[in-house]
Amino acid sequence: MLKGKHIILGICGGIAAYKSATLLRLLVKAGAEVQVVITPAGKEFITPVTLSALSGKPVVSEFFSANTGEWHSHVDLGLWADAMVIAPATASSIAKMAHGVADNMLITTYLSAKAPVFVAPAMDLDMMAHPSTVANLELLRSYGCHIIEPAEGELASHLVGKGRMEEPEKIFDVLDDFFTPKDLAGRRVLITAGPTRERIDPVRYISNYSSGKMGYAIALEAARRGADVTLVSGPVSIGIDHPRVRVVSVESAREMLDASMAAWPESDVAVMCAAVADYAPASAADSKIKREHQDVPVLHLVKNPDIAATLGQCKRPGQILVGFALETDHEIDNAAEKIRRKGLDAIVLNSLRDAGAGFGVDTNKVTIIAADGTSTPYPLKPKAAVAADIIDYITTKN
Ligand code: CTP
């Protein structure tokens, strides 16, 4: 979402300035054009050479270039920007911003900026808690600035408390989220993800290789676009951190069915991404099956409930149900048959024959097939980009 966006990165004189290089790198990697404006004190903590190398632009700090006498127009910069982010923002710069003390290039640029301004404070815990800082931040909030609250942790002073500048990745996410269209605002999305585990005894289970990456990527994308997401997840080793995602952790297909059915009546969309085990042991042993006590045990399996099909049977008009199909052969025919059998509106097909698609990897290559048989193929992409394609498909086709 930041591709082509003009971002002013303001850097003040604090130890957290070293993290600004990472933030700058993330912004540039995402395709943003970044102009660094640094205070004189900021240059004591990180060099303009580092910042200009990373941004590909000379760093602006003074009103005039010492060599050429060229005037750096804070007004032009303020108009150029799509957003301004000040990270780290020190107590003194926050105070100057709050009271219009325009004694350096960064503050004049801030006062001239027409674009939204994001402020990531960084200071010692007592400075952060001081009533003047609290009041100044409140003033900035009242002017419409977005304050990216500092985290708690060990500070440069070795004291522990609130004042650590938020991590560059988090600041990046705030900006990215700001520019992401909220076309799913007010919608509720249910997603199943990961494998299920079917218990044999207290130490053994039947499962599969699903990593949950695809489902988690869809959950994050739906949340970024404004949806309230319920993510019903089997056991995975990945996490998700978004205020609009509620994770319901389950283990077996039965538990996944119950959690999904609880969320489905209130949902507008469901994307069934989980690799549900097709079979479960008819009964799980209460204690560990011991090797020496018996011959080779025979596992009696029973069919698991089909979660997607169960949701399909009680689908209300207007609800959208999307499934996944991981196939190895007769892909299109098998996928079309699953649409019918499970009452889906569309199915996302990935073939294990495509390199880079399927379990565990960070990429996927999908074709989306609609209930009317139309199919939309997509090239191999990172799973986050595939997730965006799937959400685009759902929002544009419905
Ligand atoms: N699915 C489900 N519950 C199951 C099995 C599958 O909800 N018990 C969902 C999956 O999450 C996916 C879709 O149904 O969205 C297709 O899953 P898949 O495993 O490909 O289909 P199966 O019905 O299990 O058919 P098969 O394994 O024979 O291909």
160 and 152 in contact (C-beta within 8 Å)? Answer: yes
| Tens of pLDDT, residue by residue, the chain (398 residues) | 899 999 999 999 999 999 999 999 999 999 999 999 999 999 999 999 999 999 999 999 887 666 676 767 777 888 899 999 999 999 999 999 999 999 999 999 999 999 999 999 999 999 999 999 999 999 999 999 999 999 888 887 788 888 999 999 999 999 999 999 999 999 999 999 999 999 999 999 999 999 999 999 999 999 999 999 999 999 999 999 899 999 999 999 999 999 999 999 999 999 999 999 999 999 998 998 888 766 788 899 999 999 999 999 999 999 999 999 988 888 888 989 999 999 999 999 987 777 777 676 788 899 999 999 899 999 999 999 999 999 999 998 76
Q: Is residue 21 located within the same domain as residue 140?
A: yes
- Is the C-beta atom of 107 inside 6 A of ligand 1? no
Give the Å distance between the CA of 272 and the centre of ligand 1: 9
Q: What confidence score (pLDDT) does residue 355 get? A: 76
Residues 371, 375, 380, 386: is their CA dihedral positive or negative?
negative
Residues 166 and 278 in one domain: no
Domain membership of residue 122 (yes or no) is yes
Claim to verify: residue 262 and residue 362 sit in the same structural domain = yes
Q: 170 and 192 share a domain?
A: no
Q: What is the CATH number of the domain that holds 300?
A: 3.40.50.10300
Both 320 and 222 in a single domain? yes
| pTM (predicted TM-score) | 0.83
Domain-located, residue 314: yes
* Contact by Cβ (8 Å): 345, 270: no
Domain boundary pick from 129, 151, 179: 179
* CB 188 less than 6 A from any atom of ligand 1: no
Q: State the pairing for strand pair 228-233/188-193.
A: parallel
**Same domain (yes/no): 117, 134:** yes
Q: Report the separation in Å between the CA atom of 334 and the middle of ligand 1, taken as the mean of its atom positions.
A: 11
Same domain for 115 and 206? no
Integer-rounded Cα Rg, in Å, for the chain is 26
**Domain shared by 170 and 264, yes or no:** no
- Residue in 67, 104, 136, 208 annotated catalytic: 208
Same domain for 196 and 153? no
Convert the pLDDT of each residue in 214-236 to its tens digit.
999 999 999 999 999 999 999 99
**How many angstroms does the Cα of residue 210 sit away from the middle of ligand 1?**
13
331 C-beta closer than 6 A to ligand 1: no
* Ligand 1 binding pocket includes 326 (Cβ within 6 Å): yes
208 in catalytic set: yes
Alpha helix ranges (H) inside the chain: 17-29, 48-55, 74-80, 91-99, 105-112, 125-129, 131-142, 168-179, 213-224, 253-263, 307-313, 331-342, 383-397
Domain boundary among 144, 179, 214: 179
Any atom of ligand 1 within 6 Å of the Cβ of 278: yes
Q: How many domains does the chain have?
A: 2
Separation CA 234–CA 196 (nearest Å)? 5
Domain that holds residue 33: 6-179
- Nearest residue (by CA) to ligand 1, atom 17, is 325
What is the Cα–Cα distance from 398 to 396, expressed in whole angstroms?
6
Residue 1 lies in a domain: no
Structure token pair of residue 318: 């207007």
What pLDDT, on a 0 to 100 scale, did the predictor assign at position 66?
64
Q: Establish if 167 belongs to a structural domain.
A: yes
198 and 173 share one domain = no
Q: At what angle do helices 91-99 and 105-112 cross, to 10 degrees?
A: 40
Say if ligand 1 is within 6 A of residue 118 CB: no
Ligand 1 atom closest to 326 (CA): 20
My answer on whether 221 and 261 are in the same domain is: yes
Per-residue model confidence (pLDDT) at position 80: 93
User: Ligand 1 center to residue 193 CA distance, Å?
Assistant: 12
For the purposes of burial, counting CB atoms within 10 Å of the CB of 302, is it exposed (0-12), middle (13-18) or buried (19 or more)?
Answer: exposed
252 plus 130 within the same structural domain = no
Q: Mind listing the pLDDT tens digit for each residue in 46-102?
A: 999 999 999 999 999 887 666 676 767 777 888 899 999 999 999 999 999 999 999
